Structure formats: structure tokens, C-alpha cells
Amino acid sequence: MTQVPAPYGVEGKVAIVTGGASGIGECCSRLLAERGATVVVADINLPRAEAVAKSIGGHAVRLDIVDDQHIAEEIADVEDSVGPLEIAVLSAGVAQTPTRTEDYLMSDWDRIVDIDFRGAYVSAAAIGNRMTGRGRGSLVLIGSTSGIRPVPLHAYGPAKAAVIAMTSNLAAEWGRSGVRVNCVSPGYTLTPMLQGMIDRGERDPHILENDSALGRLVLGEEIAQAVAFLSSSEADAITGINLPVDAGWLATTSWHTYGGLPAAR
């Protein structure tokens, strides 16, 4: 029996994914393409973006999200060559290792805040301001549970908290213009970046798993599913939210004060 594909609400739309050539961004690029969107893989690593785009039948563009002097022109070029953007996933970013304040260089702090917060704003403005002129569009920013709970990431955590706050600001500003803005905040997600940290001994996977209600890490594909939903017409009444996808990490951490989670029944 032939199975009819489910209507996902992104078919035929043009989507751009910043940081779309690796990690969570790559998972989002692949899932949106699988569900029928025309995907522009935007990344500072153009060869990698081209490889991903070729594998999903999409398009690739080199995009530096902190280059506010040229990003608007680059987005205009994308729309001229591919079509008006109706979906944007702003996934580009960099991570931080836990660092004590006395050991943390301000140049490293500036770099993370510049990319993870300022870059998110610059790219959101460049894309969102064009969407408002057409009266439609959906942006999904990528936050982090590190922006919700205190962690020893003195640049990354505050930068992601700022992204979460910015999401509701932009949702309010652009809502009457038909543009929705939401945020997905991943918990510890088994991306190549996190796997590299585990391999280098910078993260203990057993601690990360034990600190979640479900007792496991999140998969990149699971983040992409939440992003695809918020990007779609199925979420037309949803804007200004932050959706944690964290295997229950936020729900679990305070239970350690009471001896930890109960064992499986």
C-alpha cells in the first residue's frame, strides 16, 4: 500500500539555515529539505555548506553572521537567486568550555558574545526586515538551556539568555506584520561538537545523561523536529516562545538537592 506523505506545512517554501553545514544546523537543513522545503545552507564554511546542499538538493551560500555591513546584501542576493525566504533557522554559533573568571580572556568573551548574540540579531534583522515587507515569515532562533539556568559559561550562557529575550522582543515587533519569531533551546545534544568534547575529556557523558529526566542526551534530529514544527504552518498561532528540548534537564537539576531522581519503576 502506498503511503501518503504527511502535510508538514513547509512544502514549497524557501528556508535558510545559518550554521546549516554542521551540527544542529545540518540536522535542520536535512529535515526541512526532507519535508519539502527548498533549503539554503548558509555557513561561514562554504565547502561544507556546498556538500550538505548538494546532498539535499538545496543551495549553498557563504554567510558571516557578524558582518553587518554586507549581510543584508547577501540575503538580498539569496532571495534574487532562490526566492523569497519564508523560513529562517538561525543556528550559527560557537560553544565555550567551562572557565573560571580569573582565567577567562576578554577576547574570548567578546568573540562568543559577538557570534552567539550579536550575530543572531544581525542575521535576524537582515532576514526579518525583508519578511515584514511581504507580510509573512517564520524565524526560529537557537537558544540553549544554558541561557535558562546558571552554568560556568560566563559568555555563552548570558549570550543565549539574550537570544531568548530577543526572541520575544522581535515577535512583538513583527507580529502585526505577519512574521513569527520563536526560539528552541537545546539541552545537551549529541552533535559532533559535543562528541569532540567528550572524546577530549572535557565532558563526562554519564554526568550529562544522569542529569536529565530521561537519562539520555538529546539527538540533533530531535532539535530539528521542534524547529521544523515551529517553522511550519502548523504553528501559525505560536510566536514569542522559548521551547526547551532537553530530555528533562531543566526539570531534573533541582532534584539533586533531595537526593536525586527516583529509580525506574
Residue pair 149/253 in contact (Cβ under 8 Å)? The answer is: yes
Q: Are 39 and 29 in contact (CB under 8 A)?
A: yes
* Cell numbers standing for residue 78: 539569496
Q: Which of 187, 192, 134, 140 has the alpha carbon at shortest distance from 164? A: 140
CA distances from residue 144 to 77, 157, 166, 264 in whole angstroms, order as listed:
30, 8, 13, 27
Query: Can 8 be counted among the known catalytic residues?
Result: no
Q: Which amino acid is at 221?
A: E
Q: Which three cell numbers stand for residue 113?
A: 558574545
Pick the catalytic residue: 8, 121, 156, 188?
156
Cell of 208: 550529562
* Contacting residues for 29 by C-beta, under 8 A, at least 6 apart: 17, 20, 21, 39, 41, 52, 53, 56, 58
User: Is 137 exposed, middle or buried (CB count within 10 Å of its CB: 0-12, 13-18, 19+)?
Assistant: buried
Residues 6+ apart with CB under 8 A from 3: none
Active centre residues (catalytic):
156
